[in-house]
Every structure is written in structure tokens, then in C-alpha cells.
Amino acid sequence: MKPWLSLGALSALLAVAAGAFGAHALGGRIPAERLAIFETGARYHMYHSLGLIAVGMLALIRGTNGNGAGISMSVGIVLFSGSLYALALTGIRALGAVTPLGGVAFMVGWLLLAGMAWK
């Protein structure tokens, strides 16, 4: 489905921008531990942006909408990567409590994508 392809591509653009921001703007401004957290968020953001593109491509091939997998991966990006970005930028450790929820959404998204591929 084309919306997942577009969202995946735009999300990948944002992941590249986040990675560049982390590498060039945050280096030396936040502690190394928090920079590593930010980089983890950007890395998983990119992985799952590519996952959204895969959802869109498989949805086009299969003639389905891919909404379950796409929504799960999108929610995962917001919760997982978003919470890591916020934690790294603010230092508020409580934000890390949201991260596992994003991880679960990622796993559900990949499981649903596998189901799409299996059918």
C-alpha cells in the first residue's frame, strides 16, 4: 500500500536527520552514555523505517493493506525511538519506561509482516 511506502521513506529521512543531529550537534554537549542512547534510537528508527517500506511493498504485491504491521511499526518508532530521543536529550530516566512498549510494538509489527509474507 502506497501510504506505508511513503511513510517509510519519510521516516527514513527523519532517521537520517536524527542520526546526523546526534553525530554533529550532540557530540560533546551531552554525556557519552546519553549520546549512545540517542544513537540506539536513531538506529532502530532506521531499521523500522525500512520495515515500513517492506510492509508497503508486500502489501502491494499481496493486494492487502498491511495496516496491522504498519501501525505496529509506526507506534514502535514513536514509543521506542521517541522515548530514547527524549531520554537522551533531557536525561529524565523515567522516559525509559516507555521504551519496552515500543519494543513490543516492533515485535508485533515484524510478526504481522511475517504473517503477510506467509499467506
Per-residue pLDDT of 26-61, as tens digits, reads: 989 999 999 999 999 999 999 999 999 999 999 999
Domain with 112 in it: 2-118
The answer to whether residues 11 and 45 touch, using CB atoms and an 8 Å cutoff, is yes
What does each C-alpha distance from 109 to 18, 73, 79 come to in angstroms?
Answer: 22, 5, 13
Q: What is the Cα–Cα distance from 28 to 47, expressed in whole angstroms?
A: 26
Query: What's the total number of domains in the chain?
Result: 1
Q: At what angle do helices 99-118 and 82-90 cross, to 10 degrees?
A: 160
Residue 89 makes CB contacts below 8 A (sequence gap 6+) with: 30, 34, 38
Q: Once rounded to an integer, what is the mean pLDDT over residues 87-109?
A: 97
Q: Once rounded to an integer, what is the mean pLDDT over residues 103-118?
A: 97
pLDDT of residue 2: 87
Residue 12 has pLDDT above 80, yes or no: yes
**Average pLDDT of the chain, as a whole number:** 96
pLDDT of residue 91: 96
The 8-class DSSP code of residue 94 comes to: G
